[in-house]
Amino acid sequence: MKLPYLLLDVFTRERFKGNPLAVVPKADGLLDNEMQMIAKEFNLSETVFFCKPSAERNTAALRIFTPYQELPFAGHPTIGSAVVLGLQNKLSAVRMEEKVGLVTALVERLDKSTGEARFSLPKLSARVDDIRDNLGIAQVLGIEIEDIGCDLYKPAVFSAGVPFHLVPVRNADVLRRLSVNHALKDKVFTHDRHSVYVFTLTPDEPENDIAARMFGMGLGEDPGTGAAAAALIGLLAENQPFATGQADFVLRQGHEMGRPCRITLQLRKENEQLVHGAIGGHAVIVGEGTLDLGD
């Protein structure tokens, strides 16, 4: 049995930058354990499988796997999948069934292998818990307690389908020099998957508003994490100085790894409540091939 696959770089327009993604566009008939084995073989942060949608009006059903587990939602597979489906089917909008819910994305073709996609969050980010152990945070991240916090932001757990421990730090220099104690991390960041998204505001960087780094999900550091950025939208919304209105941000991630990612965020509030969140970014197809699964 042979299956085609594509390799993409997501949250970038430049090949060999951004966050790599494998896409298996004809995955009907694969068993769950086969998808997991294929994702482990690619050994990228995520591999996405296209299956026939349950509703005819939808474009595809997505199954998203890390090398170790299936995820109900992930941002860079959603952006990459939307670009692939848009380019292959010449569509400006695609509807993707994910475990977290239906995701509708707008797609713009830039050339035969590059596109930009933007989607509204199928599940709005919500606060899950506070994080009060600043000493533990400092020990895990290799920083001082005084480095924790930025503007009005304080550590908290938020989820837009996948929970993340969100930790603001004082500035981009603190973010750059993080030294994570992975042996201690899971004891301090205790929620599902133990993932921590460290971020700061970047008023001195004209090309973006926020910088971030993500550690966890069995991946070490991840260059571009859309699900974490989606979770961050909830914390950003709580700290906006308006009850009703919209705010847009550009976030950079992966620079410290040499895999720079650019992620756009949008939120809208009505009467103090978050009513809309969106994630956007580019993706470029960098390769294709065939999986040989044997007889």
On whether the CB atoms of residues 66 and 38 are closer than 8 A, the answer is: no
Does residue 288 carry a catalytic annotation? no
Active-site annotation holder among 34, 41, 46, 97: 46
Tokens 């993932």: give the residue: 195
Residues designated as active site: 46
